[in-house]
Chain A
Amino acid sequence: MSTSTLPAPPSDAPPAKIRRRVLPSPVTGQEFVLIGVIVALWLLLALFTRGFFSELTLISLVGYMAPVATIGIGMTIIIITGGIDVSVAANVMVCSVIVAKTMVGYDTSVPVLVLLAVVVGALLGLVNGLLIAYGRVHAIIITFGTANLFQFLGLQIFGSNTVNGIPRDLKVFGIGSEGRVLGLPLAFLITIALAALAWVYLRHTAGGRHFYAVGGDAHAARLAGVRVQRRQMLAYVITGGLVGLAACFTIALGTSTVQQNIGSGVELAAIAAVVIGGTSIMGGRGSVLGTVLGALLVQTVSTGVTQLKWPSQLSDLFVGIAIVIAVGADLLRERARKNKGRSTR
């Protein structure tokens, strides 16, 4: 993007070309490749397993994808600003245990529970955001630290037990027949809606573009009038809120018991989805569309491994390989882009 937005030399380009492609194309090359890979995988799985294209398999595939993709949307925004958040798993645990205990102890409705989870999650996100934006410390270090603090908080609320006998209030977010709208899981539809919202926000509003500016060059963004610290903080608060929602999905997908290890590993899964989707870990480049596709790919791999009756732990190996290939392809394209820029200049 950087080279194409530079004003062209006056002699060889008409002035109309200057404003050409201020925005990157709506669907990037990485995303086309991902769509192709996912379609190919689905076709292969349909050929080699029985019942991959059954209703149950597909419903659970998109249903189980929802929590990771929801968190991934927020993680994309954070990574675009040049940060990272490894405390989301602990945040999921805190939100889950608070929601679970509320469901067991009080007679509440779904909107209240969701609101509660989102507020709790956003508050914990605010802690991260304040420390990172105003403490001016590297995000990975602070979120390693807050991950420990949130875990402490969550375990204190847990007491020394699991939460048992959770009523099925949140079943609308599950993959059962109660949770379906138009035949698809509601959690999946909400995720898609949120992703679309985030896509438009990041791409077509000034506030959204500011996240890219902060990640591209924080100093230049500040000089251009972007409130850098407020943008950074907002990214963590948004993610916190989405984590709260994802916690509700996670409870709905589980049993009537919430274990203390709920959410563990989701931080790495979300980061994996983001980077497979083509978002640069260096900041300043990326899109939520890629993240949703990345999450879909990861879930497809794990469903596929189960369907093929391979050991389920093998899916992590494929996720690792997918990360290497996706990021490697992105590196190659980045190099090609740089060379092209150099030769035309």
Chain B
Amino acid sequence: MTTTTPAPVATPVRDALAARVLRALLTQRTVLIVVLLVIVLAAFMVMDANGYLTGPYDGDTLASALINLVPLAMLALAQMLVIVSGRGGIDLSIGSTVSLTGMVFGFAYQNWDLPLIVAVLVAMIAGALCGAVNGFLIAYLGFPALIATLATYYGYASIALVINAQKPVTGDRIAALYGAAAQSVELPVIGANLPNIPVGVFYFLLPTVVVVYLIVARTTYGRRLFATGTNDVAGRFAGIDVRDTRFKAYLLAGVIAGLVAVVTTAQFASARPDAGTSGNGMALPAITIAVLGGVAITGGIGRVAGVVLAGLLVVWLNAGIPLAISGNTGPQFQLLALGVVLVFAALLNGLTTRRYGGTK
């Protein structure tokens, strides 16, 4: 958000080109991510051309990897909203919110035979309720976000498992969703020259990106959100209802989690009670991508473009690693890559804060 951070001190006119490039790389996270993205793509394509990879790293691979981007980038945007809202904002419960709302969606769509659009709405409302509990605890009662969402992480995960006696919700209608969600489509007009894109990108990811972008960049609510995150007290003096603003950030994150639950239910062809919490869960990768995308953990700073590009970087890096490293150690190197990139990005954030007064 360019307008919410103070404009950088006017640079001397005769700044050397190298210094300016360095400054752009360090202070503008989108620039850095784009450069890293180009490096990753070029490296894997060179390796592919020289036969080091076990499979092709081409447009089709990249396009089909986008299916993993859908839940990841959506949840990262949800994290962005709550982290930007400030005062240590974070949502550890988002993975278990996905599990719980996925179960609700499963019941609504499979067991209660609701039309798809109504079932999706039910999932979004369930997500909004989960987010509202977080938001109420944090914004109105003053709980630290880390603690409140740790508590609700336990709560939602537990309810999701108990609600159907640990069994997933399956059936013909949900199975039919899998066929609809897993397919890829050709883009109109220019699509013939491009690989087919998974439909989830169009049904879920792009609408979410556009709506979140409009909310943070084109509405007064967005202005209030960044003001609240930058400085609580100043925001209150400026007449902002700080509590309401922060509350709504968690609510919106819950709504996005509800949508992600629909995506994952369709991808698994069943509503799994541990969809968002198995393994490392979904919260940690989402927070990682948000931070990598330049969202400041202290609040008030974050851009939609940075988060989406960071998601692309992680997803395309993850698509290449199993091709370069044969055997089943591939996923382990994905962990390594994610960890290295996150630590690197965090250290870089610290450096830029000290040298240039912050990342944009």
Contacts and interface: CB of A to CB of B under 8 A. Distances in A.
Interface string B307-330: 000000000000000000001110
B328 A160 contact: yes
B210 interface: no
A223 interface: no
B162 A314 contact: yes
Interface in B134-175: 137, 141-144, 146-148, 150-155, 157-159, 161-162, 165-166
Given A141-B342, A156-B329, A311 B162 contact: yes
B158 A320 contact: yes
A140 B327 CA distance: 32
B161 to A, nearest CB: 4
A292 B344 CA distance: 35
A319 B150 CA distance: 10
Given A135-B350, A324-B148, A141 B291 contact: yes
Given A151-B335, A317-B162, A331-B141, A144 B288 contact: yes
A328 interface: yes
A145 B297 contact: no
Nearest to A131: B343
A148 interface: yes
Given A271-B150, A281-B147, A314-B158, A136 B350 contact: yes
B332 interface: yes
A92 to B, nearest CB: 14
A313 B166 contact: yes
A55 B8 CA distance: 68
A84 interface: yes
Contacts of A84: 146
B98 to A, nearest CB: 16
A323 B151 CA distance: 6
Contacts of A327: 143-144, 147-148, 151
A316 B329 CA distance: 32
B146 A272 contact: no
Interface string A281-321: 11000000000000000000000000000010111110111
Contact size range, B: 35 or more
A271 to B, nearest CB: 6
A316 B336 contact: no
Contacts of B144: 281-282, 327
B52 interface: no
B158 A147 contact: no
Contact of A137 (B90, B158, B335, B349): B349
B154 A138 contact: no
Contact size range, A: 35 or more
B349 to A, nearest CB: 7
Contacts of B333: 152
A313 to B, nearest CB: 4
A144 B158 contact: no
Contacts of B146: 84, 140, 281
B347 interface: yes
B141 A155 contact: no
A317 B137 contact: no
B207 interface: no
A141 B141 CA distance: 25
B33 interface: no
A146 interface: yes
B88 to A, nearest CB: 8
B24 interface: no
B335 A148 contact: yes
A34 interface: no
B115 interface: no
Interface string A315-340: 11101110110011001000000000
B287 A144 contact: yes
B43 interface: no
A149 interface: yes
A68 to B, nearest CB: 14
B31 interface: no
Contacts of B350: 135-137
B342 A324 contact: no
B214 interface: no
B346 interface: yes
Given A323-B154, A324-B151, A145 B339 contact: yes
A38 interface: no
Contacts of B114: none
Contact of A142 (B92, B165, B298, B343): B343
B338 interface: yes
A275 interface: yes
A331 to B, nearest CB: 6
Nearest to A269: B154
8 smallest CB-CB distances across A and B, nearest first, come from A148-B339, A320-B155, A320-B154, A145-B342, A316-B158, A317-B158, A323-B151, A145-B343
19 contacts: A145-B340, A148-B335, A148-B336, A148-B338, A148-B342, A149-B336, A151-B332, A151-B335, A152-B335, A268-B92, A275-B150, A316-B158, A317-B155, A317-B158, A320-B151, A320-B158, A327-B147, A328-B141, A328-B143
Interface of B: 90, 92, 137, 141-144, 146-148, 150-155, 157-159, 161-162, 165-166, 280, 284, 287-288, 291, 297-298, 327-329, 332-333, 335-336, 338-340, 342-343, 346-347, 349-350, 354
Given A146-B339, A314-B158, A331-B141, 5 more contacts: A131-B343, A145-B340, A149-B336, A268-B150, A282-B144
